[in-house]
Structure 1
Amino acid sequence: MPYVHDTLLRLQKSSPAQTEFYQAAEEVLDSIRPLLDKDKHYREQGIIERLVEPERQIFFRVVWHDDQGRVQVNKGYRVQFNSALGPYKGGLRFHHSVNAGIIKFLGFEQIFKNALTGLAIGGGKGGSDFNPKGRSDMEVMRFCQAYMTELHRHIGATMDVPAGDIGVGAREIGYLYGQYKRLTGSYEGVLTGKGLNWGGSLARKEATGYGAVYFAENMLQDRNDSLKNKVCLVSGAGNVAIYTIEKLYELGALPVTCSDSQGTLYHEQGIDLALLKDIKERRRGALTEYLDSHPDARFISVDEYPADGHAVWRFKAQAAFPSATQNELTEADAQALLANGVTCISEGANMPSTAKAVDLFLEAGICYGPGKAANAGGVATSQLEMAQNASMTQWSFEEVDNRLKEIMRGIYQRSSDTAREFNQPSNLVLGANIAGFRKVADAMIDQGLV
Structure 2
Amino acid sequence: MSTPESIPHLPVIIVGGGQAGLSMSACLQQRGINHLVLEKHSALHVWRTRRWDNFCLVTPNWQCALPGHPYDGPEPHGFMKKDEINAWLDAFRRKVNPPLREGVTVHRVTPRPDGGFHVSTSDGEWTADQVVVASGGYHLPIVPRMAERLPAGIVQLHSEQYRNAGALPPGAVLVVGSGQSGAQIAEDLHLAGRTVHLAVGDAPRCARFYRGRDVVDWLADMGYYDMPVTAHPLREGVRDNTNHYVTGRDGGRDIDLRRFALEGMQLYGLMQDYRDGQLRFAPGLRDALDNADRIYNGINAAIDKHIADRGIAAPPPSVYEPVWQPDAECAELDPVAAGITSIIWCIGFSPDFRWVDAPVFNGRGDPVHVRGVAQQAGLYFLGLPWLHTWGSGRFSGIARDAGFLAERIAARQSQPQDERVLSC
Query: What TM bracket, shorter-length normalisation?
Result: under 0.3
Greater Cα radius of gyration, structure 1 or 2: 2
Whose strand fraction is larger, Structure 1's or Structure 2's? Answer: 2
TM-score (ref. length: structure 1): 0.23
TM-score (ref. length: structure 2): 0.24
Whose helix fraction is larger, Structure 1's or Structure 2's? Answer: 1
Ranked by relative contact order (alpha carbons within 8 Å, sequence separation 6 or more), the top structure is 2
